[in-house]
Copies of this chain bind each other. A is one copy, B any other.
Amino acid sequence: MRTGKGVEWAMHTLLNLAWLGGGEPVPTAQLAAGHDLSPSYLNKQLQQLVKAGLLESVPGARGGFRLARPLEAVSLLDVVVAVEGDEPLFTCAEIRRCGTIGERCPNAAFTRPCAVRTAMGRAETAWRKALAEQSLADVQASSDAHSADMATRVRQAFGVD
């Protein structure tokens, strides 16, 4: 069980767009070249971000993607949900109701949610909460704290200025 690489790709791409600044759209090919990613597959992930409202897409020549809102308003959870979907980590199949044990239990025993599901849900809530509490702007600030010239490097790499 692990998150797809699309999550990492999306995070870095959003950060690069923020460092680049300005409202100019950037095409997929350029974003992919920034970290040597597959352009076609990155495009697929960015489309998910558009559907989730994190990016805006501009079609046609000189088109591309740009941030739909500042990174302060984008949490890590937003990115994960946009790319991976909002399905829970732990899926309860209610196996407690089946088999020789489940059949011996009165229906009243199933009115309350499965204890295993509840316990696993607590952990998942903690995970989601921690993701929701961190914005991509926080991550950007943390990165800038160690190497302050990222904005300049990104602009140079993208041939802006």
Contacts and interface: CB of A to CB of B under 8 A. Distances in A.
Interface stretch (A47-55, A66-74, A81-89): A81-89
Nearest to A98: B36
By secondary structure, the A interface counts as helix
Interface residues of A, number: 69
A126 B122 contact: no
B146 A109 contact: yes
Count identical subunits in the complex. 2
B1 A4 contact: yes
B36 A99 contact: yes
A90 interface: yes
Interface in A96-151: 96, 98-102, 104-106, 108-109, 112, 115-116, 118-120, 122-131, 134, 138-140, 142-143, 146-147, 150
Contacts of A32: 99
A95 B41 CA distance: 15
B157 A100 contact: yes
Contact of A126 (B1, B112, B129): B129
A2 B35 contact: no
Shortest 5 CB-CB contacts between residues of A and residues of B: A123-B130, A36-B99, A127-B127, A36-B98, A109-B147
